[in-house]
Structures are given as C-alpha cells and as structure tokens.
Amino acid sequence: MDAAVRELSYAQAIQEAMALAMEADDRVFLMGEDIGVYGGAFQVTGDLVERFGTDRVMDTPISELGGAGVAVGAAVTGMRPIFEFQFSDFATLGMEQIVNQAAKMRFMLGGEVSVPLVMRFPAGSGTGAAAQHSQSLEAWLGHVPGLKVIQPATPHDAKGMLLAAVADPDPVMIFEHKLLYKMKGPVPEGHYTVPIGKAEICRAGRDLTVVATSIMVHKALEAAETLAGEGIDIEVVDLRTIRPMDKQTVIDSVMKTSKLLCVYEAVKTLGIGAEVSAMIAESEAFDYLDAPIVRLGGAETPIPYNPDLEKATVPQVPDIVAAARDLAKGVR
C-alpha cells in the first residue's frame, strides 16, 4: 500500500474530510445536535470542536426544522454549512426547509442564488434502533429536483464525496449507513474528490449485473464471491449517487451481462430499484435483457426492534445469493 494511503474507518474518513474543508475555507462550519463536546451521536465529529471552536462546530437545539432553516439561510448568504441529522429519520422534521426551500431557491430566483449546503444523514438498520431510527429515506429526497443525493459505500468514497459535496453550489444530501461507520478501508492523505453523479464498477463480471447502494454493495460483493464458486460471474455496480444517477454505466453493464438485479435496503416499493429498472426499460439495454429485471429490497414493514426480525426485513447475503443464482440460471 502506498505510504500516502492509510487504513481509516468510514467515520474517520468523514471527520478528516470535514476538517480539511474547514481548514481550507473559513465559510465551512458544522451544525447539529450533540456534535460539539459529545462528538456526535455516532462520534463522527469527534474532537473537531476542540480544533475549530464552538463558532464553527455548533450544537443546535432539538429542532430539526429550526436547524435546517438556519443552515439553508446561512448557505444562501454565502456560508457553506454541513448540517448533521442525528438519524436520517429526523429529516422528516426538516422537510419544509429541505424540499420547499433548499431544493427550489435557485430555480425560483432565476439562478441568482445558490444553496451550497451539505446535509448528513446516518441511515439504515442493524443497530437495534427500531422503526423510528432505522429507515432508509434516500428515495424520498432523490425524488426532489434541486437536490443531489449520494450514498458513499467505502471510507475512500465517504471522504472524497464529502469534499466534492462541500465544493458543490447546490444542496447535497449524504446518506451514511450506520453500520459502515466502523468499517475500515484505504483512504489517501490530503484533499481529493470523488465525482458526484458517477457510479463505480466494483467487480467486473459477465453473467449478471447487480446494482447496489451503500452497505448492500458490500453484501453484493460477498454474494458474488460465493457465486463465483458455483461458476456464476457477477458484476457489481456501486451506484454511489442517487440523483443525478449515472445511467450510462448501468446501461453499459446490462448490455454486457443481459441480466439485472437491483439490491437496496429501503422498502422495495417505489425504491431506488424501481427507478433503475424503469431506466433500463426505457433504454437501448432493454433489448439486451435475457430475463425480467429483479428488485431485492426491504420488506413492506417498519423496521422491528427484535434483532432477528430486523435482519429479516432487509436483504442479507443469502438473499442476494439466492436471487442472483435464480436469475443467472433463468429460474425467474
């Protein structure tokens, strides 16, 4: 491994990106509940309050709507706020500011203003946090023109995409799966960016395309290794960006493999997989399909507290293996 590339956790990569952004630009500051002395609900902000002070690492009252409104206002006036929701579920309390203000101001004011705002959402299940603290709501925000929505799956991408988001003139929503915070991976030192709107082929294959997001990328890669032992060669595409979606990378992959499986943690109905499926159905890749597109998403239920039930409501590696195997063999 290159000396300039270290192993960092996903949380450490995010913290390093925020520190670099704050060092490079005095307009960048952090807002959120308990992000100061406490270091954030998931300890992502860490000691940044000690390094940059309370004027730039600001604990907000328990009012997501109020905090989001301040962040939007600060962005419109030229600052570059990074606002952390304790849980992605709490975005529901700030939707007025996110959907009706941040997303629309540039359009409604004829491009005379920009809203360079970053919002971070710890998302997903697996922590025993139950129905109101375990949702995956990225498709909600991905539906809204004016917002950019990203889901970095690795520490490398978490740092690079956050730095790209801070530099973006438009509001960027970052969904960070809570189970990824402790995951480690190679992260280069210094400033670099990973482009928003560009998917990545994590594993090349010939028999089947699996389009996955966030933690499901890792589960898909694990499933691909299992299936490789059966002679089934899976191509795994990390979508990375929900809006604007990288359609061409997915289209090219499906035209190569002729089969598509979409895997995501959010509830299956009206999820990311529906958009990917429709996009392929409307593209030149449709004529290359040898089988119907398959979506593997979460169950049609709120996330339960019980750990066994919680696991059963979202796709796991054996579920991906079974779905991919059936699709590759023409069972579906």
pLDDT at 318: 98
What residues form DSSP beta bridges with 234? 208
pLDDT mean over 134-150: 97
Kindly indicate the confidence band of residue 331, based on its pLDDT and cuts at 50, 70 and 90: confident
pLDDT mean over 271-290: 97
Nearest to residue 195, comparing CAs of 258, 150, 234? 150
pLDDT at 3: 55
pLDDT at 330: 83
Does pLDDT of 319 surpass 90?
yes
The 3-state DSSP class for residue 174 equals strand
pLDDT at 115: 97
CA atoms of 260 and 211, how far apart (whole Å): 7
CB 162 within 8 Å of CB 254: no
Q: How many CB atoms are closer than 10 A to CB 43?
A: 15
Q: Which residues of 258-278 are buried (b: 16+ CB within 10 A; e: fewer)?
A: bbbbbbbbbbbeebbbbbbbe
pLDDT mean over 63-87: 96
Distances from the Cα of 208 to the Cα of 144, 223, 288, 314, angstroms: 31, 12, 12, 21
Kindly indicate the confidence band of residue 22, based on its pLDDT and cuts at 50, 70 and 90: very high
pLDDT mean over 10-23: 98
pLDDT at 5: 77
Does pLDDT of 332 surpass 80?
no
Q: Tokens 């696991």 map to which residue? A: 311
The 3-state DSSP class for residue 53 equals coil
Nearest to residue 118, comparing CAs of 164, 152, 160, 154? 164
Backbone conformation region of residue 131, classed left if phi is above 0, alpha if psi is from -120 to 50, else beta: alpha
Q: What is the mean pLDDT of the chain?
A: 96
For the stretch 86-123, pLDDT in tens is 999 999 999 999 999 999 999 999 999 999 999 999 99
Read off the pTM: 0.96
Distance separating the N- and C-terminal Cα atoms of the chain = 42
Which structural domains are found in the chain, ordered by start?
5-188 (3.40.50.970), 200-328 (3.40.50.920)
For the stretch 144-174, pLDDT in tens is 999 999 999 999 999 999 999 999 999 999 9
pLDDT mean over 21-45: 95
Q: Residue 100: what are its φ and ψ, rounded to 5°? A: -95, -20
CB 114 within 8 Å of CB 72: no
Catalytic residue list: 64, 133
